[in-house]
Structure formats: C-alpha cells, structure tokens
Chains A and B, each alone.
Chain A
Amino acid sequence: GAGVSQSPSNKVTEKGKDVELRCDPISGHTALYWYRQSLGQGLEFLIYFQGNSAPDKSGLPSDRFSAERTGGSVSTLTIQRTQQEDSAVYLCASSFSGRALNEQFFGPGTRLTVL
C-alpha cells in the first residue's frame, strides 16, 4: 500500500514568513510523529499524536511551532515567523498503535530553507 507522503518536498521561504508542512500517514495508522533533521544532527522529536488523545508537544522548540491533526489522519506542521535556524528537513512518521512496540514508518521529508 501507499507509504507516508509529505508535501511540499522542498520549501524556500524568507525569514519572518509563516510556512505549513503537510503529512499524510499510512492508512489505518493511528499514531503520527513529526521529527526535524538538521545538518550534522540526529533526528529530533517535535510532536506526537495518538488517536484522539491530547498531543505530546514536549519536543517543540518554541511557541512559533504548532501542529494539527484533522480527522485522525492528515497533519499540518506550522512554523510562524520563520528563522534561519529553522532550516532543516522535517520528517513525518506514522505507526499502528495496536502493537505493543511501534515501528515507525517515515515519509520522504520536506526540506525547508529559510533565507
């Protein structure tokens, strides 16, 4: 079946602008995660959605970052007033939470460049 999809694949924006990144998880997966991968750094957790529960926002680096998940499926990550340090690849992953151990499957990522 189809994997996790993300759009856009690349986004170039000017400092101070807002951006929205989209993630379509694998059908039937109830858990959705956002990570950030900066040059030379490991993947950094941002936010986690599980079903109808309140999201785990503990990884968001500042209040300029927010995310929504509508209808338990598609998610949008919004970055307001972008800064150059926000430049990174933003990765989305989903998993089937019915398993005791949740293998996470990743999308191709959105490469964000803030000028």
Chain B
Amino acid sequence: EDQVTQSPEALRLQEGESSSLNCSYTVSGLRGLFWYRQDPGKGPEFLFTLYSAGEEKEKERLKATLTKKESFLHITAPKPEDSATYLCAVQAGQAGTALIFGKGTTLSVSS
C-alpha cells in the first residue's frame, strides 16, 4: 500500500535555528513528490515538485531534497512567518492521479 509518513509531527524553533523536516514514502512507480505549506484556515500552497532522486529545489529559506525513500525540507535561519504546517505528498502511477498526503509537520518559529 502506498504510504507517506512525515516527522516530526510538530517542531518548535527559535528564530534563526535551522532544522529539517522529513517525509518518508513507500510507493510503487513514483512520478513526483510535492511539498505544500498550509496556514490555519487556508488551503495548501504549492512549494516544490521533485521528480527524481538527487534533485534539489530552493526557495528563499527553504530547500527540498529527494532520495529514493525520503525527502527533506531544510529550513535555514527560519523566521516567525515560516510558521505553518508543511505537507508532503506523492503522486504515483499514471499522470494526473490523486496525491497521497502525509499528515504534515506543524512548525512554530518564535522570535
């Protein structure tokens, strides 16, 4: 069964304290891995797509990496505005199929 597991469930950081979020997956025929950010009361906001092992993508203080079994979202020198729930999802099988989501990591950054 295709599965996505995110850890930790919650992470509290001080402003400027870098860390990483983990997303491990078990799927057959991975087409891509997605990272989303979700603020309270809002829909998920697309951040990155990773297609193959070894790929990396960066956006401001965020950097996403992918291996054959997991992905990491590295947060460098976070700010309070980075506080949100970060969701990882995979797409497997045929193009356009539904995403399989993890339960997310809720990040809190205090000043």
Contact = CB atoms under 8 A, between A and B. Distances in A.
A50 B103 contact: no
Interface residues of B, number: 26
A103 B34 contact: yes
A109 B96 contact: no
A104 B97 contact: no
Given A106-B44, A106-B45, A107-B43, A97 B95 contact: yes
A50 to B, nearest CB: 6
Interface stretch (A11-19, A40-48, A61-69, A78-86): A40-48
Contacts of B95: 97, 99-102
A59 B43 CA distance: 19
Interface string A35-56: 1000011111100101000001
Contacts of A95: 96
Nearest to B89: A43
A11 to B, nearest CB: 15
B107 interface: no
Contact of A101 (B4, B31, B98, B100): B31
B102 A42 contact: yes
Interface string A75-115: 00000000000000001010101011111111111000000
A42 B43 contact: no
A101 B29 CA distance: 13
A102 B92 CA distance: 11
A48 B98 contact: yes
B87 interface: yes
A99 B100 CA distance: 19
11 contacts: A41-B103, A42-B104, A43-B87, A43-B89, A45-B98, A45-B99, A101-B32, A101-B95, A105-B46, A106-B43, A106-B45
Interface of B: 4, 31-32, 34, 36, 41-46, 49, 51, 87, 89, 91, 95-104
Given A42-B4, A101-B95, A106-B45, 6 more contacts: A43-B99, A45-B98, A59-B98, A100-B95, A101-B31, A108-B43
